[in-house]
Amino acid sequence: MLAIIVKLQPNTYIIMNSFVATFKKTNTDTFTADRHGNMPFIGKVLAGTSTGSIINGTMFQSDNLIENKAYLCYNEQLDYKGKAITHCRIITEISSLELPALMSQLGKGTLVKAATE
């Protein structure tokens, strides 16, 4: 999926296939640290629809992202060692002033799990 931003009129945009999420570092045994010792960050989808909201801990930190801040994100499908994975990409940080309008535009936050074969 790609994020498509369509300009309707000055200062009015529609964001398709995007979602808003806040992220928190996981500390459960379900996940393991990456090769740099960083645990992944799990997103809580606040608005829009996501097919995956996990971000590698090293990438999260190297991008100077902050836990519990709201971010506009999108998902893309990547091939990793012959297996299709859903990757969560962050577009930009969302301010508390922008959040209500995006939540209204994108609708209820939903995490959709892909069907397994």
The answer to the question of residue 88 being in a domain is yes
Flag whether 50 is in a domain: yes
Query: Within 10 A of 41 (CB to CB), how many other CB atoms are there?
Result: 23
Number of domains comprising the chain: 1
SS3 assignment, position 87? strand
Q: pLDDT tens, 76-116? A: 877 888 888 888 989 999 999 999 999 998 999 998 876 54
DSSP reduced 3-state for 54: strand
Give Cβ neighbours of residue 105 (< 8 Å, ≥ 6 apart): 14, 15, 47
- Look at residue 26 and tell me if it is in a domain: yes
Predicted pLDDT at 1: 33
Does the pLDDT of residue 36 top 90, yes or no? Answer: yes
pLDDT in tens, 53-63: 999 999 999 99
**Is 116 among the domain residues?**
no
Distance CA 5, CA 18 (A): 9
Residues 45-57 have a mean pLDDT of 93
**Does position 8 have pLDDT exceeding 60, yes or no?**
no
CB atoms under 10 Å from CB of 80, counted, come to 8
More reliable by pLDDT, 26 or 84: 26
Per the domain annotation, does 71 fall within a domain? yes
Neighbour count for residue 96 (Cβ, 10 Å): 8
What pLDDT was estimated at residue 79? 82
Its domain, for residue 68, covers 4-111
**Is 63 a domain residue?**
yes
Query: Which CATH number does the domain housing residue 29 bear?
Result: 2.40.50
**Predicted local confidence at residue 22, as pLDDT:** 97
Neighbours of 69 (CB within 10 A): 14
Provide the percentage of residues in the chain whose pLDDT is more than 70.
83
